[in-house]
Amino acid sequence: MANYLEKYLATYGSPQAKFADFDRTWSNVIVIPAYQEEASEIIQNLALIACSKKFLVIVVANSYEADDKQTQAMADDLAKGVPKTPISDETYLLTYEKYDILIVDCFSESRLLKEKEGVGAARKIGCDIALRLIASKKIRSQWIYSSDADAALPENYFQSKREQDNVATIFSFVHTYASEISEAMLLYEVKLLYYTAGLVSANSPYAYLPLGSCLCFSAEAYAKTRGFRKINAGEDFYLINKLRKIGKVLSDKEIKISLRGRLSERTPIGTGQGTRKILNDLMQGEVVLFENPECFHQLKLVIDMIEQLASNQRKELIFPNEKIQTYLQRIQFSEHYHAKREQNPSYLVMKKHLHDWFDALKTRQFIKHLQDTHYYGVPVERLGDAFFLRCENESKAIIKECSKQIFGS
């Protein structure tokens, strides 16, 4: 494994991950990107974690705005009253009782991140530093935990179970929110969980929640897939999409993270923006719509077709229906399939190849195409009637049933 880590760091590693080794070790590592957050909330959200050995929290204090006093104040407040050890020009270590915090300065004028790279760049910097410390045996665990400043982490946070070929785990979650945004927040949570439950019903290999705040992954898998993309939104989606192609992504119901629901414009997509859009729609009297359940039935037909093609590898393609045929031909599925078929692959090799190609991104694009061109959106009052739910047509009941299907009862 060390070769993968060293090769990645030498070729793709962030400059911030290049510093002299220091004489300290930790049991686990958490990476938290933090832009204009409150130091008190970060400390509070770490308070419950139970760990017999000290762990390390890498806080990437980042901004794209010159003279960002709020992010500066957050970093200063984290350092108040605790021993501070300089590690490099842009990193310093803070010693707390249960854990240490490594502050990475990405907010000073000469170290600002580019606005378009935002949280993706911050996560990459923090995880690259974690990778460096794992490679140099300063962190004993081979897993990197990814969270956010507004995520309250539970007592059993480091106790996730592993399975063979498991490269990433996504933890369950619950949102907390103020009463004035409760309806919008519930609908946003429905949107997240309903889509994933639809993927579960279709037997999609990409049926998981891509949340960077509720994620851990193996250091080796992170290095093999070249880590986070430096983008200001969706960096978690793209990383987990790559990780899934080299191993299992599990959903862990035993570890539940509490996420603070809030309105935000920090990133172009995500909880803050999604909730804000829903709230605006509700205030204007518009109906919030969700994917038609038939989209997921059509996706299952595609998944079944892939299974059959992997098994029989017939020359003549037979599509489930004209809608699917038209779309798959447009994205050149036939050419891709036949090119692989000529190599005479085994069943498992062909199946993996087709699923790697028809990945989480192509799945999302397929669902969106069907929704835009063939099916009407469905309001929350009808979602419970979906063939894969069959529950009360009410937000909390839908959330409960979707969570059960994704994480287990």
d(CA 141, CA 52): 13
Q: What is the pLDDT of residue 372?
A: 93
Which residues, in sequence order, are bridge partners of residue 252? 171
What is the DSSP pairing of strand 215-218 with strand 289-290?
unpaired
Q: What is the pLDDT of residue 171?
A: 96
Q: What is the pLDDT of residue 272?
A: 61
197: tokens are: 């439950």
d(CA 237, CA 220): 19
Q: What is the pLDDT of residue 268?
A: 46
Q: Which amino acid is at 290?
A: F
Let me know if 239 is exposed, middle or buried by CB neighbors in 10 A (0-12, 13-18, 19+): buried
CA-nearest of 207, 390, 167 to 296 is 207
d(CA 391, CA 399): 10
Q: Which distant-in-sequence residues (6+ apart) come within 8 Å of 80 by Cβ?
A: 39
Q: What is the pLDDT of residue 23?
A: 84
d(CA 350, CA 293): 29
d(CA 227, CA 128): 8
Q: What is the pLDDT of residue 237?
A: 94
d(CA 328, CA 324): 6
40: tokens are: 């008190």
Q: 3-class DSSP state for residue 46?
A: helix
3-state helix, strand, coil in the chain (%, to 5): 45, 15, 35
Taking each helix axis as running N to C, give the angle between helix 322-330 and helix 360-373, from 0 to 180 degrees, rounded to the nearest 10. Answer: 130
169: tokens are: 């785990």
CB 69 within 8 A of CB 82: no
Please list the rounded mean pLDDT of every run of 10 residues in the chain (409 residues). Answer: 83 88 91 95 94 94 93 96 92 95 94 91 96 94 96 94 91 83 87 95 96 94 94 91 96 92 55 75 85 97 97 93 96 95 95 97 96 93 93 93 89
CB 166 within 8 A of CB 248: yes
26: tokens are: 């930790």
Q: Cα–Cα–Cα angle for 293, 294, 299, nearest 5°?
A: 105
CA-nearest of 164, 146, 144 to 219 is 144
The full length of the chain comes to 409
Residue 254 — φ and ψ, nearest 5°? -75, -25
CB 195 within 8 A of CB 291: yes
Distances in Å between the alpha carbon of 114 and those of 62, 312, 382?
10, 49, 43
Top CATH class of 2-178+207-264 equals alpha beta
Residue-range domain boundaries for the chain: 2-178+207-264, 293-373
CA-nearest of 245, 223, 213 to 363 is 245
176: tokens are: 């907390």
Q: What is the pLDDT of residue 19?
A: 81
Q: Which distant-in-sequence residues (6+ apart) come within 8 Å of 43 by Cβ?
A: 78
CA-nearest of 119, 282, 252 to 188 is 282
pTM equals 0.93
